[in-house]
Amino acid sequence: MSVGASDPVRCTVCRLHRGRTQVVLPDGPAGGLLAIGEAPGQQEDATGIGFVGRAGRTLDAVLERLGVARQAYARTNVVRCRPPDNRKPRADEVLACRPWLEGAVRDLRPRVILAVGQSAAAQVMSVQWGAGYLDLVEEVISASRPLPSYQGVPVVPMPHTSPLAWNRRRPDGTPIRELGVAAAARAVAELIGDTPLPLR
């Protein structure tokens, strides 16, 4: 392991450390719902707190309406340092940060993972999607089939919250928000033990 790889707040393993204000660490309670996002944004980088920008507040609002308050769920990201200009994290950065993500899931022992957006889902789901991520989300959250799992924890994929916040629509005209709420509801059902299907 290189210098900086063993200290979560001083990690320098990938180039993203150069532009960050601070590392955004996981937060929230263990043993419940863990939301995994793509990367910290400007507000997260400035405050050191995950999911506080518009996308994070959108997720808070969706979960709150489903009975899960912000203080009742945990959060982390695929990469812990803000990519410059909010670009997507590169493959080598995602790979470099993966041990931190694996460790967060191990430490937080969630009952269910909510993968918020395609980048997060790609890290915790082994299934491939060719037809489109939103179609995959729709298929996976269908109550008639077991959920995929990561480290033995059921995984629910959902759309990124940005299109929910901006009220974007799918090609068939349905609001992406509808799918996002349905996915979050599936995760909450798993959290409260309402979905006894086995993992696959």
Residue 131: alpha-carbon gap to chain centroid: 21
Measured from the CB atom, the residue of 12 and 21 that comes closer to ligand SF4 is: 12
Q: How far apart are CA 146 and CA 33, in angstroms?
A: 17
Q: To the nearest whole angstrom, how small is the minimum distance from the Cβ of residue 49 to ligand SF4?
A: 15
Q: How far apart are CA 133 and CA 105, in angstroms?
A: 23
Measured from the CB atom, the residue of 90 and 111 that comes closer to ligand SF4 is: 90
Q: To the nearest whole angstrom, how small is the minimum distance from the Cβ of residue 97 to ligand SF4?
A: 3
Measured from the CB atom, the residue of 4 and 32 that comes closer to ligand SF4 is: 4
Place of tokens 């990367």: 39
Measured from the CB atom, the residue of 97 and 124 that comes closer to ligand SF4 is: 97
Measured from the CB atom, the residue of 39 and 147 that comes closer to ligand SF4 is: 39
Angle at 158 between CA 11 and CA 140, to 5 degrees: 120
Give the β-pairing of 33-37 and 73-77: parallel
Q: To the nearest whole angstrom, how small is the minimum distance from the Cβ of residue 89 to ligand SF4?
A: 7
Q: To the nearest whole angstrom, how small is the minimum distance from the Cβ of residue 170 to ligand SF4?
A: 31
Measured from the CB atom, the residue of 10 and 145 that comes closer to ligand SF4 is: 10
| Closest C-alpha to 39, from 123, 156, 120, 157 | 120
Q: To the nearest whole angstrom, how small is the minimum distance from the Cβ of residue 155 to ligand SF4?
A: 21
Going by the DSSP 8-state scheme, the letter that residue 85 receives in this structure is G
The dihedral over CA atoms of 131, 94, 104, 115, expressed in degrees to the nearest 10, equals: -20
Q: To the nearest whole angstrom, how small is the minimum distance from the Cβ of residue 173 to ligand SF4?
A: 38
Residues lying near ligand SF4 in the complex (CB under 6 A):
11-14, 16-17, 23, 79-81, 93, 96-97, 100
Residue 30: alpha-carbon gap to chain centroid: 15
Q: What are phi and psi of 127, to 5 degrees?
A: -70, 150
